[in-house]
A = this chain, B = another copy of it.
Amino acid sequence: CAQAQTHPNIMLTKANIAAVRKGVTLYPLLKGSYQDVKKEADRALTIPISVPLPKDGGGGASHEQHKRNYQNILACGVAYQITGDAKYATYVKNMLLQYAAQYEKWPLHPKRENSNPPGRMFWQILNDCVWQVNVIQGYDMVYDGIPAADRKTIETHLFAPIVKFIYDDNKETFDRLHNHGTWAVAAVGLTGYVLNKPEWVQMALKGTDKTGQVGFLAQVDELFSPDGYYTEGFYYQRYALLPFVIFAKAINQYEPKTQIFKYHNSILTKAVNIALQGTYSNGAFFPINDAMKDKTFESSELINAVDIAYADISPDKGLLDVAARQKKVIVSDAGLKVAKDLAAGLAKPFNYQPMWMTDGKKGDEGGIGILRWGEGNRQQAVLLKAAAQGMGHGHFDRLNMLYYDNGGEVFPDYGASRFINIETKNGGGYLPENTSWAKQTVAHNALVVDQTSNFKGNIKEASKYHPEFIAFKTTDKIQVVSAREDHAYPGVQMLRTTALIKVAELAKPLLIDVVKATSSANHQYDLPYWYKGTIIDASFKIEAVRDNLKALGKSSGYQHLWLNSENEVPANNGYVSVMQGQSFYTTCFASTTPIKVKLVSTGANDPNLSILESKAFMLSQPQATNQTFVTVTENHGQIDPVAETTSGAKSAVSSLSVVSSDDSKTVLTFKIKDKAYTITINYQDKNNFIQIN
């Protein structure tokens, strides 16, 4: 690279130091963020440096120490730049010299597992790459404070061997079009920039053979859909995004003419937006596929992404709103700009939008539909998952539907079965129940055919197919999304159409959900709605099992379900009312055939108590060829537990029925108070896809 070498020159740049130094005294968010970093740096200085021989797995002592070390290096780098105090640089120097004295002697990590290639510092090479991405940024910041001879030692005996370990010993990871590969190329590329090794940068950008078939640019081309969606889902999108954003920022810094943020139709810009659109209004990521459910856009990955997006890509004022809720910025050029504009009162509410986001490199492998209505914690959000399988972390939940309202989950997704960092729970890793339960179709608000999961739970089969997009429309009164899945169950076509519909009689939209199965053979069709709260009313008399509670099935997740009750539904319709938080959700249901309602809860065949308590009402058709389930869910009423007042405990919706349902349309009717409504879904007329009369 042609540019003269200056330090620092990634997140924090020499040209901007004076402004950032001033900014940490002026703008509250930057000030607070800097104080946190400085406190961390100062605390680090009070503790003897420890560079232990790597021996423990994730969460173990040596693992945690090496992790703390890179965090301390980064914090001291920032503290050095802002204060100019040599002690921070000396700390980093001393630590890195200790690493340099040992690193080359370390063998492959003893706790390596078969699933991921081992590092030398950590049990997975991935963590080694993350270490280097962080450390090289810290090194860049203290560069001028370390004597040249020590730099030589560190660069020769630590960074060069690490870089070689990554691109050479782990060529397969480095040249892989996968987010682990992105960490690898970011580690090598960033080190190349900082140490002025154009060779490393070239390999990072274009792969070890420098042809561009792999490497960072190819990853940017390949890893996101044209809309910016990452196929593993939002939880991993957040994680995958970080090395992209950091390395892109460095590329932008060192080689601005590449216009990396505009590369491939500004795909990185889109990916940041999609990561945010993949959250509910409380900031939590929609937990499709393997996902930890408490993760929000307050995570450090999105702090980086939001700051850089605002400062280096496009100053969308809605990002300032997110930054304010993140309560933190990176102490950096970007963080300065964000904090300054926030302090100037420029923030606007983040612009959540109903959208269809395609999946697949070409955007032709299904996608995710998101409906949104209302603002803040009154927002209703509905997600229809019609994306591709999403690799190994994907769940077998084709056409799964999630519903959020009043600040939280109404029809939730279980997420992953994992207790992160809890040693006693499989060392904090994914539990066996992630496979036996969380990934199974029945763990989702998704149609289950014949009590088996999609593709019989076979990931290879599942990865061959994706759902088909049918329709996505939004108007003032209707938001609707529809998709089809033909392969999850041989001989069964599944089609789901989900809509939010605003009617004059009600303050909030109704959730309409139409699930249609078509087959020439008889099948059992189960449609669970996982719910939060307590059932307080139903159209049928619930008679829950009093004793000798039995598991509902033997496999496909059914072995984990207690069958609490099984109710015949006399007419082909009925309702279930759930009290949740301070209001009620009544789901009216109707069917083209007589169905049962099964009330189920988790806990069967769970000897280690690994599955969290969850409950569902399941619409169940024991044997039919074609089957259409329709539900209308209304949020109603108000509970004030302090005043002990309750109003509106009865739903206004009644008389739901399916008038007809075939390949061309589904027609349903219901009443709101006395007013009759007819909804027609025209599967074959996309210009007139849904009608309300």
In the bound complex, what is the Cα–Cα distance between A608 and B536 (angstroms)? 9
A547 touches B (CB below 8 Å)? yes
Task: Give the Cβ gap from A434 to chain B, nearest Cβ, in Å.
Answer: 16
Given contacts A421-B649, A549-B562, A604-B546, contact A534 B642 (CB under 8 A): no
Per the 8 Å Cβ criterion, residues 629-662 of A in contact with B are: 639, 641-647, 649-650
A607 touches B (CB below 8 Å)? yes
Closest 3 CB pairs of A and B: A294-B641, A421-B646, A549-B549
**Nearest-CB residue, chain B, relative to A59:** B646
Are A421 and B645 touching (Cβ within 8 A)? yes
Are A542 and B608 touching (Cβ within 8 A)? yes
Most B CB contacts (10 A, CB to CB) among A296, A298, A546, A639 go to: A546
A300 touches B (CB below 8 Å)? yes
Chain B residues closer than 8 Å to A425, beta-carbon distance = 536
**Nearest-CB residue, chain B, relative to A646:** B421
A548 touches B (CB below 8 Å)? yes
Are A544 and B609 touching (Cβ within 8 A)? yes
Question: Secondary structure of the A side of the interface?
Answer: loop
Chain A, interface residues (CB within 8 Å), range: 35 or more
A537 touches B (CB below 8 Å)? yes
Given contacts A295-B642, A579-B419, contact A424 B543 (CB under 8 A): no
Chain B residues closer than 8 Å to A544, beta-carbon distance = 603, 606-609
A613 touches B (CB below 8 Å)? yes
Are B607 and A298 touching (Cβ within 8 A)? no
Are A642 and B420 touching (Cβ within 8 A)? no
A422 touches B (CB below 8 Å)? yes
Are A299 and B421 touching (Cβ within 8 A)? no
Chain B residues closer than 8 Å to A419, beta-carbon distance = 534, 536, 579
Task: Add 14 more A-B contacts to A422-B579, A546-B551, A546-B607 (CB < 8 A).
Answer: A59-B646, A296-B642, A299-B643, A421-B639, A422-B646, A424-B537, A544-B603, A544-B609, A546-B605, A547-B604, A548-B549, A549-B549, A564-B609, A599-B609
> What string of 1s and 0s marks CB contacts (under 8 Å) between A92-128 and chain B?
0000000000000000000000000000000000000
**Nearest-CB residue, chain B, relative to A645:** B421
Task: Give the Cβ gap from A430 to chain B, nearest Cβ, in Å.
Answer: 14
Most B CB contacts (10 A, CB to CB) among A292, A551, A599, A649 go to: A649
Task: Give the Cβ gap from A585 to chain B, nearest Cβ, in Å.
Answer: 14
A612 touches B (CB below 8 Å)? yes
A160 touches B (CB below 8 Å)? no
**Nearest-CB residue, chain B, relative to A606:** B544
A164 touches B (CB below 8 Å)? no
Task: Give the Cβ gap from A399 to chain B, nearest Cβ, in Å.
Answer: 29
A169 touches B (CB below 8 Å)? no
In the bound complex, what is the Cα–Cα distance between A641 and B535 (angstroms)? 29
